[in-house]
């Protein structure tokens, strides 16, 4: 049995993809929808809880980028930096939900202001870490991210999502 006995300040779900496409700006009367698009790599769904702070960001960045959560063509487990793979970050407040009766409640989620700030810091620290790895940069891999608070209209094409959960 898995035992979990600690406070959680952030929850991350990770899925591998061959291709993913996320709406970053919905269509309006003047313009079409805008999309962020990645090829082979990792989709990072991210949610911060109340009591979270910027101290947790380096731990999350380190784990998602350096833990061997990806697979090469020959089945070897490597990190997304080693792959080297694209990265798509998706803010996902629903991940903070807790069921009560038939309802989902989101009382533990960080409020919007804190959530937005931590989300922005997470993206910028990921970018920094990635840019310090010449092999990732020279492969032409990309980091994309969704817009906080938007509906995350997403298309995902996988060769096995290898869904992982990490909590911090």
* Contacts with a copy of itself, residue ranges (CB under 8 A): 1-9, 11, 13, 45, 49-52, 63, 66-69, 77, 79, 90, 92, 94-99, 102-104, 108, 151-167
In whole angstroms, the minimum distance from the beta carbon of 89 to a copy of itself comes to: 13
Check: CB of residue 80 under 8 Å from CB of residue 64: yes
Give the Å distances, CA to CA, from 24 to 13, 27, 88, 151.
19, 10, 11, 9
Query: Please, what is the minimum distance in Å from the beta carbon of residue 118 to a copy of itself?
Result: 14
Half-sphere exposure of 141 (CA within 13 A, CB side): 26
Q: Which is nearer to a copy of itself, 79 or 143 (CB)?
A: 79
In this complex, which beta carbon is closest to a copy of itself, that of residue 95 or of residue 126?
95
Nearer to a copy of itself, 93 or 139 (CB): 93
Could you tell me the two tokens for 2?
A: 């898995």
Which is nearer to a copy of itself, 97 or 125 (by Cβ)?
Answer: 97
Residue entry with tokens 């700030």 = 117
166 vs 9: CA distance, rounded Å: 11
Angle (nearest 5°) at CA 124 between 63 and 88: 65
| Least separation in angstroms between CB 38 and a copy of itself | 14
Quote the least distance from Cβ 160 to a copy of itself, whole Å.
5
């Amino acid at each position: 049995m898995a035992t979990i006995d600690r406070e959680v300040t952030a929850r991350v779900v990770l899925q591998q993809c061959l291709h993913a496409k996320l709406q970053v700006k919905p269509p309006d009367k003047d313009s079409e929808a805008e999309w962020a698009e990645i090829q082979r790599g990792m989709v990072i769904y991210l949610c911060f809880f109340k009591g979270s702070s910027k101290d947790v960001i380096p731990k999350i960045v380190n784990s998602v980028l350096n833990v061997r959560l990806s697979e090469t063509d020959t089945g070897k487990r490597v990190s997304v930096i080693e792959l080297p793979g694209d990265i798509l970050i998706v803010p996902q407040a629903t991940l903070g939900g807790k069921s009560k009766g038939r309802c989902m409640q989101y009382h533990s989620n960080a409020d919007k202001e804190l959530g937005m700030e931590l989300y922005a810091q997470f993206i910028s620290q990921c970018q920094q870490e990635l840019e310090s790895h010449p092999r990732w940069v020279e492969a032409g891999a990309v980091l994309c991210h969704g817009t906080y608070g938007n509906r995350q209209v997403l298309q995902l094409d996988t060769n096995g999502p290898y869904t992982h959960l990490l909590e911090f």
